[in-house]
Structure formats: structure tokens, C-alpha cells
Amino acid sequence: MIRVAIATLGCKTNSYESAAIAAGFDPALYELVDFEQEADIYVVNTCTVTGRTDFKSRNLIRKALWRKQSNPSIKVVVTGCYAQRHSDQIRELGDIDLIADNQAKQDIALLLARPDTDFTDITTARDFRYRPVSRMPGHSRAFQKIQDGCDRRCAYCAVPYARGPARSAAFAEVLDQARRFVAAGHREIVLGGVNLGLYRDGELGLAEVAGALQQLPGLELFRLSSMEPDCLSADLLDCLSDLDKFCPHFHIPLQSGSDSVLRRMGRPYDSADFRRLIASVLKAFPDAAIGLDVIAGFPGETEADFVPTLDLIKDLDIAYLHVFPFSRRPGTLAATMDKQLPRPVKEERVRLLTSLGAAKKERYRRRLLERAVPLRGICEKTVGGYSTFLSDHYIRGYSPEAARPGELCRLTPRVLYRDGLR
């Protein structure tokens, strides 16, 4: 058996695509192994959302190249968003056998036989490439990519240049893939995309996809990955509120609470719009787990800009924060802006936001406990007599009822522990 090791960085979309890459290797000939093990083929599926993920991508590539030094027959393959934007930098790292563009990454098993294949300019991509995936190895939840690319040009974001224009899977392909996941034993699906809210197949959008998943036999739960604020419409919320398989968990990029910073970022909303959105979500789902992305230290962000961000987040009933220091991405508008902030300023703002996020998370957990909100989730494993699962409210739960991995767990929390609810 030829051993294949795949390392994945970044988003849930990348995780799905790594599963598609794996699906391209004939199981009669190839064996999937962990990236830390000895392998004959190493595939690194990279990310470029921040400078830190660029660094992590290069580090994994160097690890594979180090193994190749002692065994020249090893094949090293690099793909993903960092590869799409910086293939020249990757070639400088060493003897790379194949660099696959994002549109062709799922065909890596075939491309290895003809590594001279053209590297596609992703900005010319117009179709959604669908390769059926039977399962997500190592995951109890299945991550299903139904959309790719983004037509927005936020000043800080390099992703559209690595993913190309917005394009969507056909509605029939979405249902086909979901059925395959359920047939493989996955009882929860996480819908994902580069800009998920832009999903569209003719007149069919996310509401229709959600309605179809609600009717899918064998599926217990489904949730949405990150949703842009202007895509989370009142009509979509109204639709989701009628579906009992939907997990009331929303991850929404705020990025800043300062209207002037939001304008410079190119974001299509202001702080008042965002307040109204959160109020609408909580009206439809009073106990919803709402998480926010926030960027600290955008160019020109003064102390007077940062304070409104803290104040807005303090006022909102949210469950957690994902905080990122601003990272200059070559080719983006923000990378060339004046008044780039020094690293210590960005780090201090990250520290303050992270502390606020921890307090918000603790407050949300206690609210679930006080209200005895019923939790549901797919059992991952049994630890110390408890079945552990990531709940529909994005809080880890521990059920005293014995459950097998993959089964639906239900729990009304009664005791609050540091690591979760029991």
C-alpha cells in the first residue's frame, strides 16, 4: 500500500477539500496515515488568512521536505490558499513535486501522474468543482462545502485572491453529498463555504438547503459556519427558526465596532446595523450561541476607534469571540494603508478583547445553566463514564447516559464545570 499523509490548515472548507483529496486516492492502492508518520506522499493543504498561517504552512512543507531528504522517492505536494497566492515562495523551499491550484486540488491523485499540468489563475474560475466525499475521517461532524469564492473586496482580506469569484454547488449536488455523509454514519453536517451566505443555485438559496436537510432521514443536526452580517437576512432567520434540526449557533464577523474603521475596511454595515442584527438573531433564537470575529489594530485604528469596539461587544449577548491582530496581506488595500500600528499596540488590544471574550463565554455558559436550556449533540467519545459532545449551542456537554460515538445525546445541564456543562 502507498501511504498518503494529508495536513490541513485553516477553515472547515479546507477540511472538506482535504477529504475530497483523500477520496481521489484508490483505497485498494493507497492508505491514509497521520502526517507525523512515515508516508510515501505528503500533501499540505495550506491557508493564507494571516501571516501566522503562512508561517505554519511553510513549516509543514519543510517537515515534509526534511523527510524527503532521507528518502528521495517521497512525493511532496502543496495546495491551498497560500499555494495559490505564493507558488513562487513554495518552489524556493525545496524539491516540491507538485503545486496544485485550488480549483484542481481534489484531482491531486491524478495530477501526480502528470505534474506538468497548468497552474490555473483562480480569478478565471467560474464553476464549482464537486467531488463526492463518503466520509470525514477523524470527525464526528461532517463539514460540507457548498460554496466557494467571494466577490467582496474587504480591505484586509486576501481570500478572494486565493479563492476566486463566488460560485455554488448545484442544489442536487448538495443533497447528494449530504445523503452520502448520512449513509457513512455522520449525524451532523456543518454547511460551509468561503462566503456561505452567497450560496445560490438559480432561485434556490440557503433557506432551501436548510429545508431539505430538515427532511433528510438519518440526519439529526445541521449548522451553518461563518455568515457575513448582511447575508443573515430576516427571511433566513425566520426559516431556520422553524427547523428543529438546526443548531442555534451563529458565527458572525464583526471585525470592528467603530463605524470609521468599518468604512475603511470596506464592510457593508455600521455598528447600529450590527446591533439590530444581533437583536434579530436573539428574537428568533433567545438562547443562541453567537460568536464574533474581531480584528485588533487595523491601520489607523486610534484609541477612540477601539473603545467603541469594546463597548459594543460588552453590550451584546454573545457566547464567544475569535480575536485576530491585523495581519498585512500582500496585494490587499490595507497592506498599503498609512498609519500601520506597532505590534505592541495590536497585542495589547488583542489581550483586552480576549479577556472580554472569556468573560462573555463564562456568562453565556451560566445563562444556559440557569435557564436549564436543553442541549443536543453527537457523541464523540466516552470519558470517565460521560458521553462528551459539542452541543448545538456550541458548548461542550457531558451526558451521564451511555452513548456510542455518532449517536445523538440530549442533556439538560445541572452542574457547571470549568470545561463544560453536566
Are 2-120 and 254-267+276-368 in the same CATH fold? no
- For residue 119, the model assigns a pLDDT of 84
CA gap 287, 285 in Å, rounded: 6
Q: Each residue of 299-330: pLDDT tens digit?
A: 999 999 999 999 999 999 999 999 999 999 99
Q: Which CATH number, 3.40.50.720, 3.30.540.10, 3.30.750.210, 3.20.20.120, labels domain 128-247?
A: 3.30.750.210
pLDDT more than 70, % of the chain: 100
Tell me: pLDDT of 416 over 80. no
Q: At what angle do helices 206-214 and 171-183 cross, to 10 degrees?
A: 30
Q: Does position 134 have pLDDT exceeding 90, yes or no?
A: no
SS3 360: helix
Residue 306: φ, ψ to 5° = -75, -35
pLDDT digits (tens, 9 = 90+) for 326-371: 999 999 999 999 999 999 999 999 999 999 999 999 999 999 999 9
Give me the sheet containing 142-148, strands edge to edge: 167-168, 142-148, 188-193, 221-224
Report the sign of the C-alpha dihedral through residues 96, 98, 101, 106, in that order. negative
CB atoms within 10 A of CB 66: 10
3-state secondary structure at position 191 = strand
How confident is residue 417, by pLDDT bands cut at 50, 70 and 90?
confident
Per CATH, the number for 2-120 is: 3.40.50.12160
Asked if residue 77 has pLDDT above 70, the reply is: yes
Q: What is the pLDDT of residue 385?
A: 83
- How would residue 115 be classed by pLDDT, with cut points 50, 70 and 90? low
CA 414 – CA 304 distance, rounded (Å): 42
Name the DSSP class of 208. Answer: H
What is the pLDDT confidence band of residue 253, given thresholds at 50, 70 and 90? very high
User: What percent of the chain has pLDDT above 90?
Assistant: 89
For 165-179, write each residue's pLDDT tens digit: 999 999 999 999 999
Domain boundaries, the chain: 2-120, 128-247, 254-267+276-368, 375-421
Whether residue 117 has pLDDT greater than 80: no
State the CATH architecture for 254-267+276-368.
2-Layer Sandwich (3.30)
Instruction: Read off the pLDDT of each residue in 202-210 and give the average, rounded to a whole number.
Output: 98
Looking at the predicted structure, is the pLDDT value of residue 224 above 90?
yes
